[in-house]
Amino acid sequence: MSTPTRVLLLVVLGLVLAGGGLAVWYFVQPQPGGIVSGETRTTGRALIGGPFTLIDQTGARRSEADLEGHYALVYFGYTYCPDICPTSLSTMTQGLDLLAEQSPEQAQAVLPVFVTVDPERDTVEALASYAEHFHPRLLALTGTQAEVVVAAKAYRIFYQKAEEPDAGDYLMDHSSVIYLMGPDGSYLTHFTHVSTAEDIAKGLGERVDPSQATTAAAGS
């Protein structure tokens, strides 16, 4: 990749991380003529979410059908991430715990989901160990490189390996956004790395209707 191209990609990533989700804003705003992200949609519904096939931390095959009937908090990251990913996941699950104190029924209707953008290292076993640090109902997903590409594309997630000369390890550049998806798989809202646990609890409290969801059981 040429230097100018990499600089441009890093600028875009910086806008996502430091600008409060500007890239996501583009995808969720109806464009003139009813066009969202280059596709015509008369309802103005954001084109975020869609079909995927991945594997969870128990080795079970999962798809978008497993999220149906639940509100889902969806975050893409990777287990080797030094700070942003664990912080975002902690904030996400703490927000869910705060909601549980205020409204157990609402909290139980929400399924926290983590999707890796680094399937090369994030095996089923690695995800099983990682998920234990965050929430008992966290659904952690991995798959082949091709399967992860499909999932990331469906959720409009940018990611790429950060090439570091002479480095024995590597980091991943990626969007840092927490999506709240409805029981029908539709996008409801999103949170960014600057959102607090209180922000997430408040956002969930305003949007989650337990009567519209199937109770989220552990790992399902």
pLDDT tens, residue by residue, 106-151 = 999 999 999 999 999 999 999 999 999 999 999 999 999 999 999 9
pLDDT of 155 higher than 60:
yes
Question: Bigger pLDDT: 185 or 169?
Answer: 185
Q: Is residue 87 part of a domain?
A: yes
Question: Which element (helix H / strand E) includes 104?
Answer: helix 104-108
Q: Is residue 217 part of a domain?
A: no
Mean pLDDT across the chain: 82
What confidence score (pLDDT) does residue 214 get? 81
Separation of alpha carbons 175 and 12, rounded Å: 9
Separation of alpha carbons 172 and 205, rounded Å: 32
Would you call 25 helix, strand, or coil by DSSP? helix
Mean pLDDT of 91-102: 97
What confidence score (pLDDT) does residue 91 get? 97
Separation of alpha carbons 160 and 91, rounded Å: 24
Q: Which CATH number does the domain housing residue 155 bear?
A: 3.40.30.10
63-72, 128-137, 162-171: least confident range? 162-171
Cβ neighbours of residue 217 under 8 Å, at least 6 residues apart? 137
31-35, 98-102, 158-162: least confident range? 31-35
What confidence score (pLDDT) does residue 45 get? 65
Does the global pTM surpass 0.75? yes
Q: Please give the residue range of the domain that contains residue 105.
A: 46-212
Contact 113, 67 (CB under 8 A): yes
Please state the domain count of the chain.
1
- Write the pLDDT tens digit of every residue in 193-206: 899 999 999 999 99
Q: Is residue 12 part of a domain?
A: no
pLDDT of 72 higher than 80:
yes
Q: Is residue 31 part of a domain?
A: no
Q: Is residue 58 part of a domain?
A: yes
Q: Is residue 219 part of a domain?
A: no
Nearest Cα residue to 178 out of 62, 41, 73, 60? 73
Q: Is residue 19 part of a domain?
A: no
Q: Is residue 40 part of a domain?
A: no
Q: Is the dihedral of CA 145, 149, 152, 157 positive or negative?
A: positive
